[in-house]
């Protein structure tokens, strides 16, 4: 059986991070985690661009602009949506996940979903560098793997 998978080699990668400011106490930690993963896997700091948007709802349109620039090997989307007292949470989560998923399907550029969606602030803190790890780090690793995998899949049939 021929296994096709991506390595974690990132030395020549150009990466865009699109991160929302809402709940920045959490999102800032996700950005730190993503930057840590990228730098420790060899990405040049000058090849990382950070775009800040107001809230998670604004991530998909900003990510689309970064994809369409053609300047990046991957686009990492980071945010923190924490349930409040109304159904607003459900609509924001639904549209952000749908928007990022749709974008990832309409482009060959890997677009990664690093938006934590939690019932409360404690769950968000756990996923921003404490007992449940850092979802920003995890998402950046997935970006590196997908860029490598994309390169491998382009060799198929050649
Ligand atoms: N409640 C949260 C929001 N709400 C704001 C929206 O994302 C959007 O910016 C606004 O509706 C204007 O279009 N955003 C988050 O990222 N996290 C939340 O918990
Ligand atoms: C995820 C949200 O939009 C939420 O934080 C908004 O809070 P609320 O539902 O209390 O207005």
Q: What is the C-alpha separation between 109 and 147, in angstroms, rounded?
A: 8
- pLDDT at 157 > cutoff 90: no
Residues with CB under 6 A from ligand 1: 20, 22-23, 54-58, 79-82, 92
Q: Single out the residue of 137, 77, 135 nearest to residue 101, CA to CA.
A: 77
Q: Which of 79, 82, 94 to mutate to test the pocket of ligand 2 (most atoms within 8 A of CB)?
A: 82
Is 97 within the bounds of a domain?
yes
Q: What is the C-alpha separation between 65 and 77, in angstroms, rounded?
A: 13
> pLDDT by residue (tens digit) across 28-73?
999 999 999 999 999 999 999 999 999 999 999 999 999 999 999 9
Is 150 within the bounds of a domain?
no
Is 69 within the bounds of a domain?
yes
Ligand 1 atom closest to residue 23's alpha carbon, by position in its atom list: 17
Active site residues: 88
Collapsing DSSP to helix, strand or coil, 1 comes out as coil
Tell me, what's the ipTM?
A: 0.97
> pLDDT by residue (tens digit) across 85-135?
999 999 999 999 999 999 999 999 999 999 999 999 999 999 999 999 999
Q: What is the pLDDT of residue 1?
A: 96
Is 154 within the bounds of a domain?
no
Q: Would you say the CB of residue 87 lies under 6 angstroms from ligand 2?
A: no
* Contact (CB, 8 A) for 149 and 6: yes
Domains contained in the chain, number: 1
Is 9 within the bounds of a domain?
no
Element (H, E) at 141: helix 135-153
Ligand 2: which residue has its CA nearest to atom 5? 84
Measured in whole angstroms, the distance separating CA 100 from the mean position of its chain's CA atoms is 9
- pLDDT at 148 > cutoff 90: yes
Is 98 within the bounds of a domain?
yes
Is 6 within the bounds of a domain?
no
Domain span at residue 30 reads 15-143
Ligand nearest 26 Cα, by number? 1
Is 153 within the bounds of a domain?
no
Domain CATH code at residue 37: 3.40.50.960
- pLDDT at 3 > cutoff 90: yes
Q: What is the C-alpha separation between 110 and 76, in angstroms, rounded?
A: 8
């Amino acid at each position: 059986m021929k296994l096709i998978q991506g390595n974690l080699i990132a030395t020549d990668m150009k990466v865009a991070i699109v991160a929302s400011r809402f709940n920045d106490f959490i999102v800032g930690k996700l950005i730190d985690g993503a930057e840590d993963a990228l730098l420790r896997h060899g990405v040049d700091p000058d090849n990382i661009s950070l775009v800040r948007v107001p809230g998670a709802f604004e991530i998909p349109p900003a990510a689309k602009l970064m994809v369409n620039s053609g300047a990046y090997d991957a686009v990492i989307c980071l945010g923190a949506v924490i349930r409040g007292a109304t159904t607003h949470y459900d609509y924001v989560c639904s549209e952000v996940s749908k928007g990022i998923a749709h974008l990832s399907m309409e482009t060959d550029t890997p677009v990664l979903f690093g938006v934590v969606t939690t019932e409360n602030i404690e769950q968000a803190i756990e996923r921003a560098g404490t007992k449940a790890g850092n979802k920003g780090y995890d998402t950046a690793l997935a970006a590196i793997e997908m860029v490598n995998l994309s390169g491998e899949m382009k060799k198929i049939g050649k």
